[in-house]
Structure 1
Amino acid sequence: MRLSTVILPIRRWHDKGREVWQRAEELGFHTAYTYDHLSWRTFRDTTWFGAVPTLTAAAAATRRIRLGTLVTSPNFRHPVTLAKDLMTLDDISGGRVTLGIGAGTTGFDATVLGQDPWSARERADRLAEFVPLLDRLLTEPAVTHRGTYYSADEARNIPGCVQRPRLPFAVAVTGPRGMKLAARHGQAWVTTGDPALFESGTPEQSHAAIRGQIDRLGAACAAIDRDPGELDKVLLTGFTPERDRPMSSVDAFVDFAGRHAELGITEIVVHAPIPDSDFDTDPAVYERIATEGLAQLRA
């Protein structure tokens, strides 16, 4: 089991921004992720910086911790320009970048460029074209592609990623088409549980839903003769029926993480504390979870 964190891009870099990323490394988190949005929910009218520049600054300010997005989507990204940014970020970080990627939602990012929000089917269609093209762009020195939604004309990405054959993809999907994408292109799979259970579901129902998701991922891997054990299974916390309870104490976290490890989850991601928000965790408890939580789980 690995323990990682999400650091939302809400702090000016020279006013606590740098410190929170460096502290995540000091605490021993495996990866520090950030959301790749242009704005997000209750933070829409407050400070919110771009994901790639933030991760670039974090790469320069740290040495060991992995860095990544959780998650990037096609809502406002194009695979050609994203690939160039990712290759550069991977170089600056010395090969410490993971791309979390998903289909996106109907939130603010879906209309910020002036387009109508895409249907669930179109989001899935776009992701199904976006991921394989991005895979090629990060592994081949020159790519030409003519697709339904995305094109590339002799797009160059030289010298390629530090990580070979490319930086890893953590694919955030739950539907059958998405599971096929994760099985074929992913090095990890990401879930937040079943959104339908968030408001009124029970922990037991959530566990059953996640178990079913992992089973479907395994079936998608089996269909292409891939060992599902090759993929990390990542749970982003805060969106299951237990909500913020796992962050209430070290014991509560150990119980939560242990039950999800039994389901097959290999990485738990918790949010760095943000006062007066949905992520208003006690900073002392957050730090104790980072330094003691996994040790207790493994004891």
Structure 2
Amino acid sequence: MTGQIAVTGRPSGTPGGDPLVRLGVVVLPEYGWPQTRRIWCAAEEWGLHHAWTFDHFSWRSLRGTPWYDSLTTLTAVAAVTGRIRLGTLVASPNIRHPVPMAKQVMTLDEISGGRFVLGIGAGAADGADARVMGAVEGVRRGDRFEEFVTLTDGLLRQSRTTFHGAYYQAVEADMVPGCVQRPRVPFALAASGPRGLRLAARFAETWVTIGDAARPGERSEADGWEVLRRQIGQLAVACERAGRDPGHIGKLVNVSRVVPDPYASVERFVDVVGRCHELGFTDVVVNHPRPAGIFHGDPDTFEYAVRQALAVFARGGA
């Protein structure tokens, strides 16, 4: 599977080969369709390798403001783009059930021509997502997440699945014709603890981190880099224990959740991406600038920094 999927594997940095680091953007699903289309098509036109959206029912400080469904948004985006890879960052058991989600994923993979990546995470224990579908008492989040990933993997690999778990059931769930990407769409699995890292080592084509998941964006920059360094090491241990070469799993970081103002200037963004590469990350994403509040920024500065960084890392380094 390594080398067949654009968001996985070890970048070579060789002329004419893979880029030194693949760059992507996260676009929140908060805009009407005309603006959504412009933003995502621009990301493709700039040459970004992948683009993602949050998968929540509503999200933190933006609760009560416009917020659309991620899989529906990505389906529409897939129909108006042709190269850039698309994904959720990340879908979770808080608002998704593996059976209907797998059918949506299979369909989205077809519409995108095999460009979809399923980003998956355990979901926060608190917040609106954890409560919106009803009672959460008695949920052992680690157990539920492992079952969620295991069943989703089986559904997307098989034409028919029956599964009886503690949290999820599937009875002769048909997935025909199956994913365009074989044996299934790639998984980008968000994890920071030992159990999640073991799941990533077992199931994921790409591992995803936002640094300190309990305090995203709250640590000092120096602490943020140290967290990433430590997590890379922990992932390597998890892979080795699973009998997997750590070099055969992609490593993606959303730097907007780790360091402040990652694209304040071209020099700043190139330095941030370069440091990620030095730590061993194969993929770096940054949140698209919003006009105010969280992830606010200047669109022109963002575009210029992204274009310049793409040029730098496409030719094998700064």
Shorter-chain TM-score: which interval?
over 0.9
Match of 1:186 in 2: 204
8 Å contact from structure 1 (residues 110, 117) kept in 2:
no
Gaps of 5+ in 1: none
Counterpart selection for 1:29 from 18, 30, 48 = 48
Distance in 1 between the 2:269 and 2:221 partners?
14
Matched, 1:160 2:178: yes
Report how far residue 197 of structure 1 moved: 6.2
Per-residue displacement from partner, 1:210-233 (whole Å, max 9, x unpaired)?
Answer: 111111111111112111111111
Distance in 1 between the 2:217 and 2:75 partners?
36
2:277 partner letter: A
CA RMSD of aligned residues (A): 1.5
Aligned partner of residue 71 in structure 1, secondary structure: coil
8 Å contact from structure 2 (residues 26, 54) kept in 1:
yes
1:1-299 matches, within 5 Å, as: 1-14=21-34, 16-105=35-124, 106-116=126-136, 122-195=140-213, 201-240=219-258, 242-244=259-261, 246-297=262-313, 298-299=317-318
Report how far residue 204 of structure 1 moved: 2.7
- RCO comparison, higher one (Cα < 8 Å, 6+): 2
1:4 partner letter: G
Per-residue displacement from partner, 1:142-196 (whole Å, max 9, x unpaired)?
Answer: 1001101111001000111000111000000011111110001000000111246
Give the percent of matched residue pairs that are identical in Structure 1 and Structure 2.
Answer: 49
* Residue correspondences, number: 294
2:246 partner letter: P
Aligned partner of residue 161 in structure 2, secondary structure: strand
TM-score, structure 2 as length reference = 0.89
Distance in 2 between the 1:2 and 1:189 partners?
14
Distance in 2 between the 1:103 and 1:228 partners?
22
Aligned partner of residue 292 in structure 2, secondary structure: coil
Gaps of 5+ in 2: 1-20
Report how far residue 296 of structure 1 moved: 2.8
Report how far residue 208 of structure 1 moved: 2.0
Distance in 2 between the 1:180 and 1:59 partners?
31
Greater shift in the superposed pair: 229-238 or 78-87 = 229-238
Report how far residue 63 of structure 1 moved: 0.5
Structure that is richer in helix per residue: 1
Change in CA separation of 1:80 and 1:91 when aligned onto 2, cut-off 3 Å: same
Report how far residue 117 of structure 1 moved: 6.4
List, as ranges, runs of 4+ consecutive aligned residues in structure 1 with deviation greater than 6 Å.
none
Report how far residue 131 of structure 1 moved: 0.4
Greater shift in the superposed pair: 85-94 or 205-214 = 205-214
Distance in 1 between the 2:265 and 2:138 partners?
40
